Chains A and B, each alone.
Chain A
Amino acid sequence: GAVVSQHPSWVICKSGTSVKIECRSLDFQATTMFWYRQFPKQSLMLMATSNEGSKATYEQGVEKDKFLINHASLTLSTLTVTSAHPEDSSFYICSARDLVSSYEQYFGPGTRLTVT
């Protein structure tokens, strides 16, 4: 089956530093990848949609300069949280859509970010 990996699975960083999260589709090609944020006991909130080779589309209220998304290849997208603050602490989940089937969307295991 289709597998999406994320790295790291958890990260602790100091306030003011930047952290990069990688999302990879391991056995399929994904033209579109999605980044979600999930607060404790809440649903997933879509942050941005990225298409390979083009700029990401951010949802309303998401700071594009703070959450930098790069989708350089059909199997890799990265989310960089710049100048992190404690309020950025959250669970970040990426998802990838199969190039072949536009209905299927596969999710990564998530990355727990804690900013101290």
Chain B
Amino acid sequence: AQSVAQPEDQVNVAEGNPLTVKCTYSVSGNPYLFWYVQYPNRGLQFLLKYITGDNLVKGSYGFEAEFNKSQTSFHLKKPSALVSDSALYFCAVRDYSGAGSYQLTFGKGTKLSVIP
């Protein structure tokens, strides 16, 4: 089965500084990778995905992620953090569950706190 790991439970960054939220993956074939953001008591919002193509993927709200096959990583980045970016971030991989069916497998999440 596919899996993703988010090694950091929490990331703190000062407003205006660049931020990185780490994600590594383990897949048996070509990885389909996703990042989602969750605000308190809300569902998940899609940020970006990597299916194929350029290793640098640009997404919503100024976020981007770099796919690195040799390091099996898909870290989320933003050049300049905003206080409003403070939220819970989930990395996910599309997992094949049999009979032509796919589902998302999520990492445990990383809480991002941007300090004013």
Chain A positions near chain B (C-beta within 8 angstroms): 4, 6, 32, 34, 41-44, 46, 49, 57, 91, 93, 95, 102-110, 112
Contact = CB atoms under 8 A, between A and B. Distances in A.
Interface of B: 32, 36, 41-46, 49, 51, 90, 94, 97, 101-109, 111
Contacts of B41: 91, 110, 112
14 contacts: A32-B101, A41-B109, A46-B103, A57-B101, A103-B49, A103-B51, A107-B36, A107-B44, A107-B45, A107-B46, A109-B42, A109-B43, A110-B41, A110-B42
B78 to A, nearest CB: 21
Contacts of A95: 44, 104
A109 B107 CA distance: 19
B109 A43 contact: yes
Given A107-B44, A109-B43, A112-B41, A42 B36 contact: no
Contacts of B36: 107
B46 A106 contact: yes
Given A43-B90, A103-B49, 20 more contacts: A6-B43, A34-B104, A41-B109, A43-B106, A43-B108, A44-B44, A44-B90, A93-B43, A93-B44, A95-B44, A103-B32, A103-B51, A105-B104, A106-B46, A107-B44, A107-B45, A107-B46, A108-B43, A109-B42, A109-B43
Contacts of A42: 108-109
Nearest to B49: A103
Complex A-B, nearest 7 residue pairs according to Cβ-Cβ distance, in ascending order? A107-B44, A107-B43, A109-B43, A43-B108, A110-B43, A43-B106, A108-B43
